[in-house]
Amino acid sequence: MGGAIDRIARPIVYIRREEPGGGAGQDLSLTIRLFGGMTIQDDGGTDYLPRSRKTRAVVAILALTAPRSAQRAHLVGLLWSRRETEQARASLRQAVHELQERFGVAWNHILLAERHTLCLDLRDVSVDAVAASAPAAPKTELLALFQGGFLEDLSGLDPSFDDWLTTERRRLASIARMAGEAFLRERHLKEETIAAARGVAPAR
């Protein structure tokens, strides 16, 4: 199980950031949630979720690719596979611009936009799928997240992206199932065991 989990586990480091002009008590951290309806919020409740579904998809892809960079050509192929190359590239540039505007001064530093690549710097950010897949996470946490669905609101954007979603769901479900099975091999209260068993079964 460890090898599979290690492939997506990233170190989560919380660096408390202060909003421009803010004083004591206004330090904030950012959370990206991919399960149960995508959200991007700081712990003060400020919403950073882009309005465009394809821009949200860019964030999701980068969040699960980090700390590696994603090739712009790969993103274009996933989200604009039915458009002409130049039009598709322009659409990606527009999505990047929307994301930069949405993140604003407070969080624009986490988006690393190069000529041929894009990357999210997650050192200041928590991603639910990543945190729940870490070796130190409770073994049933990822199973519990699946109860809310994984990026269901982004289905149907593009056939290539739907294929990517299917692959990611299967990958994360496999990790969740292995962690759940490990949990079942340990001794727990009857109620906890029943809940874990119910979560493991649908992922087979």
State the pLDDT at residue 136: 86
List the domain range (segments joined by +) for residue 160.
2-203
More confident residue, 36 or 203: 36
State the pLDDT at residue 14: 37
State the pLDDT at residue 203: 43
Q: Which amino acid is residue 83, in one-letter code?
A: R
Residue 19 has pLDDT above 50, yes or no: no
More confident residue, 9 or 57: 57
Taking the C-alpha atoms of residue 174 and residue 131, their distance in angstroms, rounded to an integer, is 16
Taking the C-alpha atoms of residue 149 and residue 36, their distance in angstroms, rounded to an integer, is 5
Determine which helix (DSSP H) or strand (DSSP E) holds 42, and give its type and residue range. strand 39-42
Determine which helix (DSSP H) or strand (DSSP E) holds 75, and give its type and residue range. helix 72-79
Percentages (nearest 5) of helix, strand, coil residues in the chain: 55, 15, 35
Structure tokens at 186: 């340990």
Phi, psi dihedral angles at 173 (to 5 degrees): -65, -35
Q: How far is CA 203 from the centre of its chain?
A: 19
Number of separate domains in the chain: 1
Q: Which amino acid is residue 18, in one-letter code?
A: E
Residue 159 has pLDDT above 90, yes or no: yes
Question: 192: domain CATH number?
Answer: 1.10.10.10
Q: How far is CA 42 from the centre of its chain?
A: 15
State the pLDDT at residue 17: 43
Q: Is 125 helix (H, G, I), strand (E, B) or coil?
A: strand
Per-residue pLDDT tens over the stretch 53-101: 999 999 999 999 999 999 999 999 999 999 999 999 999 999 999 999 9
Q: What is the dihedral of CA 36, 8, 156, 115, to 10 degrees?
A: 120
Bridge pairing between strands 117-120 and 70-71: antiparallel
Average pLDDT over the chain, rounded to an integer: 83
State the pLDDT at residue 2: 43
Taking alpha carbons only, the member of 68, 38, 7 closest to residue 154 is 38
Upstream peptide bond of 67 is cis (omega within 30 degrees of 0): yes
Contact 130/12 with Cβ under 8 angstroms? yes
State the pLDDT at residue 185: 73
Per-residue pLDDT tens over the stretch 93-129: 999 999 999 999 999 999 999 999 999 999 889 999 9
